[in-house]
Amino acid sequence: MSQSEFAAAIRHAGDALGEPNTANKRLVQKWESGEHAHCRPHYRRALQSVTRMPFDQLGFRLAGDDASARPSKAVGSPFENRDLVRGESLASVGEPCERLRFALERPGQADLEEIALVETATTQLFDLEHHRPARLLLPAARRHLEDVSALLSGTRRETLRRRLALTGGRTAALIGWLMFDLGDADFTFRYWDAALAAARHAGDGPLLACVLTYQSYAAAERGDPATAWQLAHSAVAHAGPDPRARSWMAARAAEEAARLGEHRAALAELDLAMQLGSTLTTPAPDEPSMPWTRFFYRAMLGAIAANVHGRLGNIPQARDAAAWALRTLTSERVKARALVLAEVACAYARAGEIEIAVESAHQAADLTEQLEITLAYRRLRTLIPMLSPYSTSAAVRELFTRLSSDLPQTR
C-alpha cells in the first residue's frame, strides 16, 4: 500500500471497530520515521486490524502498564497471532507461501477447535473459487494461509501438525491456481512448491496429485504437452480412492496425450476417466470428495471427452460427447459451466454445426467475462481459426469481435 492507502485502511478499520480516527498520510510518515514512537490505544487496535499482527511487533514503544498494548487477536480472524518463534517471527519471512515453509520446520501449539475451523474455512475457499473471480478471492486466501501458518508454527503435537500442514498445503495449492489464472507464473510456482512441501510433510498423496494436475495446466499453457501429460498421468497414481479426483486426472492426461497425437494412449486415459466418472453427479455439500475436485462431474467429463475426440479427428464421437455434456450440464453460474460450454462450442465448430457452436460460445463468454475465467477465455479464442471458413456469417463475425477483446482483469 502507499502511505495514503494505508491511512485510508486505518480509518476504515477504526470505523469498523466503532472507534473513528483521522489517520492521514502525514501520520503514517511520522510512524514510519519514528517521529511518533508511541501510538494511542484506538490507533493500536486499528493497526492490528489492518496488519493482522500483534501491536508489539510493529516497532512502537510500549507502555508496560497499558493492557491495550499487549498482543491481542487480530480483528476479523478467529486465530491468535502466535508469530514469535524462538526469536524469529513469521512476519519476517515474506510471502504467505514462505511463511508456510517456515512454519513446517518450527513446532509449537494449537487446539482441535481451531484446526477444525481452518479445515472448514479451506474447503469453503475452494467452493468460493467456483463462482468468484481469482483477483477477488486471492486476498482472503492469502490471509487464511497466514492464519494457518501462524497456528502451525505454534503446534507441537505431530498429529495436529500434520492436519495443519495439510490444510496449509491445500490453501497454497489453491492460491497457486488463482495466481495461474491471473497470469503470475513466478508466484504460481512458489505457492505450488510450498504445497508440495506440505504434501511431503503430511505424507498426503491426494494433495500431491492435486498440485501435479494443476502443474499440468501450466505446462500445457507454456506449450509443453509432453510434460503436461506426464504430470497428469502421474497424478492418477497418487490420487487415492476418490473416483472424482482420479477421473479428472485421467481426463487431463487424455487431453494432453491427444494434443500430442498419441491416439492409443489418449483413448486409454479417456476410457479410465469414463469408467471412474460416467456416473458422477454434482457433489452434495456433505460429500467427502477432495475440495479441489468438486467442480468435476459428468458434464465436465463429457466436455473433455469432446476435446479429446475432436483433437484425434473422431468428429462423430466428439459431437456425441458434446451433446452428453449439454444434457448433464447444470444451470449454476460457476466457472465449470463456462469451461464446458467452451469445449462444446469447439466440438460443434469442428463438426461444422455453426449455429450451436456460436450459441454455446456466447453463453460461455457471458460467464467468462463475469467471472474472469482465463482458462475458458483461452479455449474460446481457439474457436477463431476453427470458424474462419464461416467468417461471411454475421453471427460468426460478431463472435470474433467479442473474442478479440481482453478479459477485464487484463485490460
Is 103 in the same domain as 32? no
**Mind listing the pLDDT tens digit for each residue in 128-184?**
999 999 999 999 999 999 988 888 877 778 888 899 999 999 999 999 999 999 988
- Structural domain of 45: 3-76
3-state secondary structure the chain: CCHHHHHHHHHHHHHHHCCCCCCCHHHHHHHHHCCCCCCCHHHHHHHHHHHCCCHHHCCCCCCCCCHHHCCCCCCCCCCCCCCEECCEEHHHCCCHHHHHHHHHCCCECCCHHHHHHHHHHHHHHHHHHCCCCHHHHHHHHHHHHHHHHHHHHCECCHHHHHHHHHHHHHHHHHHHHHHHHHCCHHHHHHHHHHHHHHHHHHCCHHHHHHHHHHHHHHHHHCCCHHHHHHHHHHHHHHCCCCHHHHHHHHHHHHHHHHHCCCHHHHHHHHHHHHHHHCCCCCCCCCCCCCHHHCCCCHHHHHHHHHHHHHHHCCHHHHHHHHHHHHHHCCCCCCHHHHHHHHHHHHHHHHCCCHHHHHHHHHHHHHHHHHHCCHHHHHHHHCHHHHHHHHCCCHHHHHHHHHHCCCCHHHC
Best CA proximity match to 119, nearest among 83, 177, 79: 79
Is 260 in the same domain as 346? no
Is 28 in the same domain as 89? no
Is 314 in the same domain as 224? yes
Picking from 168, 203, 238, the residue at the C-terminal end of a domain is: 203
How many domains does the chain divide into? 4
**Mind listing the pLDDT tens digit for each residue in 280-319?**
888 877 677 899 999 999 999 999 999 999 999 999 999 9
Is 228 in the same domain as 305? yes
Q: Any idea which residue has 451433446 for its cell? A: 323
Is 188 in the same domain as 87? yes
Rounded to two decimals, the pTM is 0.74
Best CA proximity match to 339, nearest among 380, 308, 309, 390: 380
Picking from 276, 302, 328, the residue at the C-terminal end of a domain is: 328
Is 313 in the same domain as 210? yes
Q: Residue 49 pLDDT more than 60?
A: yes
Picking from 138, 169, 203, the residue at the C-terminal end of a domain is: 203
pLDDT at residue 89 in the model: 42
Is 56 in the same domain as 90? no
Cell reading at 4: 495514503
**Mind listing the pLDDT tens digit for each residue in 247-266?**
999 999 999 999 999 999 99
Is 298 in the same domain as 313? yes
**Mind listing the pLDDT tens digit for each residue in 321-356?**
999 999 999 999 999 999 999 999 999 999 999 999
Q: 305: domain CATH number?
A: 1.25.40.10
Best CA proximity match to 169, nearest among 136, 135, 193, 139: 193
